Amino acid sequence: MPPPLELTIVLAATRDMGIGLHGSLPWTGLKKEMAYFARVTKRVPLPNASGPSARNAVIMGRRTWESIPPRFRPLAGRLNVVISRSAPPPPPTSSTAAGGEAGKGEMGEEGPVMVSSLEQALSFLRKRQEQEIGGGGGEGGGAGEGGLGRVFVIGGGQVYTSALALKETKRVLLTRVLTDFECDTFFPLVLGEAEGEEGEEGQAAVESGWRRSEKSALDEWAGEVVPEGVQEENGTRYEFQMWERGE
């Protein structure tokens, strides 16, 4: 029996939860922040890492996929799942695990799996997970060859909204951008402390069952000592946070 599939949302957002402007990020030059994103979304936790080719999955909308420079897509070291309303049915999991029907990206990585909805993405990943566990993933639920690790939702706005409505979504890895930027796209949930960080607006997150985790919990889940406190790159100030949904 495979473990329940959990979703983790990953985003960078301003204090009023702005995440985009004209289809792009409002800020540039945050190389350390992008490196953190890459490390955390690539790192497969134990026991899943028992398979040498075990990988995490990143789910994104078509616009988010197209916003990634072609030379960087598919995102290396991760199974890329792209949601597009016009997508054909996803390939059989066995073909995808072998790098078949999904094809290859410009970096030689397994090409994206195209699906028409978030629900179809989860169905595909569950089938892949069940197939790998049934195919000899080993004791303790570890993944076998081509195993599935964690599942991340990385944008955009509509995909975030759909993910927040699912019970499978357990946490949000938030890069809180403290410098003000103009935005026209916003994350649908205000994540801020009831007192202080976002004032009364932050109560929305508290009432909906979301709580900010301790720094030690973030470190343990991320698998590294995450930089603490306010960071600054190219004049942009930000802080790494983790929020978890209560039971």
* Per-residue pLDDT at 144 exceeds 70: no
3-state secondary structure the chain: CCCCCCEEEEEEEECCCEEEECCECCCCCCHHHHHHHHHHHHCCCCCHHHCCCCEEEEEEEHHHHHHCCHHHCCCCCEEEEEECCCCCCCCCHHHHHCCCCCCECCCCCECCEEECCHHHHHHHHHHHHHHHHHCCCCHHHCCCCCCEEEEEECCCHHHHHHHHCCCCEEEEEEEEECCCCCCCEECCCCCCCCCCCCHHHHHHHHHCCEEECCHHHHHHHHCCCCCCCCEEECCEEEEEEEEEECC
Question: Which residue did the predictor score with more confidence, 138 or 93?
Answer: 93
Residue 199 tokens, joined: 């004032």
Q: What is the C-alpha to C-alpha distance for residues 203 and 190, in angstroms, rounded to an integer?
A: 8
Range of the domain at 211: 7-245
pTM of this prediction? Answer: 0.85
Integer-rounded Cα radius of gyration of the chain: 18
The pLDDT tens digits of the residues spanning 94-127 come to 544 433 345 555 444 667 999 999 999 999 999 9
Examine residue 1 and state whether it is found in any structural domain, yes or no.
no
Examine residue 93 and state whether it is found in any structural domain, yes or no.
yes
* Per-residue pLDDT at 87 exceeds 70: yes
Confidence of residue 51 (pLDDT cuts 50, 70, 90): low
Give the model's pLDDT for residue 67: 93
Examine residue 22 and state whether it is found in any structural domain, yes or no.
yes
* Per-residue pLDDT at 7 exceeds 80: yes
In the chain, pLDDT over 70 holds for what percent of residues?
77
Beta partners for residue 124, in sequence order:
none
Give the model's pLDDT for residue 19: 97
| Average pLDDT taken over every residue of the chain | 84
* Per-residue pLDDT at 35 exceeds 60: yes
Tally of domains in the chain: 1
Are the C-beta atoms of 44 and 58 separated by less than 8 Å?
Answer: no
Examine residue 2 and state whether it is found in any structural domain, yes or no.
no
Give mean pLDDT, residues 232-243. 98
Q: What is the C-alpha to C-alpha distance for residues 202 and 220, in angstroms, rounded to an integer?
A: 25
Examine residue 65 and state whether it is found in any structural domain, yes or no.
yes
Give the model's pLDDT for residue 1: 60
Examine residue 29 and state whether it is found in any structural domain, yes or no.
yes
* Per-residue pLDDT at 145 exceeds 60: no
CATH code: domain of residue 44: 3.40.430.10
